Structure 1
Amino acid sequence: MAAPNEVTFRLSRRRSSVPRARALLHAVLGSWGAGPDALQTGELVLSELVTNALRVRVPSDRLVGVRIARLVDEGLLRLEVSDAGDGKPEVRQPGEDETGGRGLQLVEAMAHRWGYEARACGIGKIVWAELKVPGLAPERDGIEVAAVAVRAGQRVRVWGAWHVVRSVGMERSSSDGGRDTLVLELGEGPALRIDSTAPLTV
């Protein structure tokens, strides 16, 4: 089953929600095949957005909403954080002695674009940021080639899953008219033995 293109969840209004949001994002991006740079940038931006939402003055029982989405056609990761508070998020220019107030500066510097909008329910707002992460594009279904054309390092779809080919070998059978059997050593599981002319998806 293909991974979904978006994940949503809610967080309670407590400091521990920031690392929880990072951990959930890490798990989602891992399932989408994101690299370490995308993980680090995404976690940093989401941390700032969640931290800002937690600072907004709202009734204590109001939760913070998070939406993580991949816009595959554009190669973008979209992070949304919603809260029930009023106000307009603005990039501040804190003084040198101030220890805070730089969250949206960081978001602006790291995001491809960012902004905010009113929530559909009419209460509160959604602050969002989009990051360029081309690797989030969905995997192609692959192309079909003769098994003999497969090379080490490629991925082949066998037994209902994708497997990395570690090495390619050939066995010639003394029986069966001396036909060649291709032997693919895979990253996981047993070796695949297949007629060299049989089709494989790579």
Structure 2
Amino acid sequence: MAARNDILFRVARRRSSVRRARNLLHAVAGDWSIGQETLAEAELVLSELVTNALRVPVPGDRLVEVRIARLPEDGVLRLEVGDAGGGKPEVRTPSEDETGGRGLLLVDALAHRWGYEPRPSGIGKTVWAELKTPDIAPEPEGTEVAAITVRAGQRVRVWGEWLTVRGLHAERHTSDSEAHVVLHLDDGPGLRITADSPLTVQADPPPRSGDGAWRDAPRRK
């Protein structure tokens, strides 16, 4: 999955949605450098927030909105779950014979801080929790260069994502006065652009064998 600062999705009001939310959390954990301990705690918190939202008495066709975001400047992973119900979420201390009611107690124990706020639509609320994650990775910085200077192994910003250049070659046709570069990326189709087009590349990419190797395509006669 390409690096980004948040993901927003909606889930149906069914029990399997808790697992889906956890799976999406795991999907971004690697890109964001979330440690295993924090990931385990975030998984518990997100599960409780989604479970609570599913229990809110609202029509069954109302979806639950989930947002997972990283705030690297604050060293925080933020989890948000919105539902169409009213009420105020409060931490309870259930008796020993009660089987439920401990969800927010767990959230309160694991989260750096948490709270709730009205949804922008005016219907329902969003319950959020933030977990301290000092090693969370920020969005990679980039610098703008001409396409012809890009090297294999670098990561480029294309179609709104950071993709790795697996290979590339230059093209020039007699019927076309402009030179072109074709980038072979790790996801999606190849990208053919003019050699002097600006591309944003990730600063200081990790070294790879074969960096800087150009493979010139045969020119048409």
Asked if structure 1 preserves the Cα contact closer than 8 Å seen for 2:11 and 2:64, the reply is yes
| TM-score between both structures, scaled by the size of structure 2 | 0.64
Q: Which amino acid aligns with 1:118?
A: P
Asked if structure 2 preserves the Cα contact closer than 8 Å seen for 1:22 and 1:46, the reply is yes
2:154 corresponds to 1:160: yes
Q: Which residue of structure 1 lines up, in the alignment, with residue 42 of structure 2?
A: 42
Distance 1:125 1:108 in 2: 18
Question: Secondary structure in 2 aligned to 1:92?
Answer: coil
Question: Secondary structure in 1 aligned to 2:86?
Answer: coil
Where do 1:19-168 residues align within 5 Å? 19-138=19-138, 141=141, 159-161=153-155
Distance 2:49 2:140 in 1: 32
Q: Which amino acid aligns with 1:125?
A: K
Using the TM superposition, give the Cα deviation of residue 159 of structure 1 relative to its aligned residue in structure 2, in angstroms: 2.6
Q: Which amino acid aligns with 1:160?
A: Q
Q: Which amino acid aligns with 2:84?
A: A
Question: Secondary structure in 2 aligned to 1:66?
Answer: strand
- 4+ residue segments displaced more than 2 Å: 139-142, 187-193
Q: Which residue of structure 1 lines up, in the alignment, with residue 18 of structure 2?
A: 18
Question: Secondary structure in 2 aligned to 1:80?
Answer: strand
Distance 1:12 1:192 in 2: 46
Distance 1:72 1:158 in 2: 28
Asked if structure 2 preserves the Cα contact closer than 8 Å seen for 1:73 and 1:137, the reply is no
Q: Is there any run of 5+ residues in structure 2 with no aligned partner, and where?
A: 143-150, 156-205, 213-221
Q: Which amino acid aligns with 2:13?
A: R
Distance 2:211 2:11 in 1: 46
Give the structure with the larger helix fraction.
1
Specify whether residues 2 and 22 from structure 1 end up closer, same or farther in structure 2 by C-alpha distance, changes over 3 A only.
closer
Q: Is there any run of 5+ residues in structure 1 with no aligned partner, and where?
A: 143-156, 162-186, 194-202
Asked if structure 2 preserves the Cα contact closer than 8 Å seen for 1:11 and 1:17, the reply is yes
Distance 1:53 1:139 in 2: 30
For each residue in 1:66-101, what CA deviation from the matched residue of structure 2 results, as whole angstroms up to 9, or x when unmatched?
001111110000000000001100000100111110
Question: Secondary structure in 2 aligned to 1:134?
Answer: coil
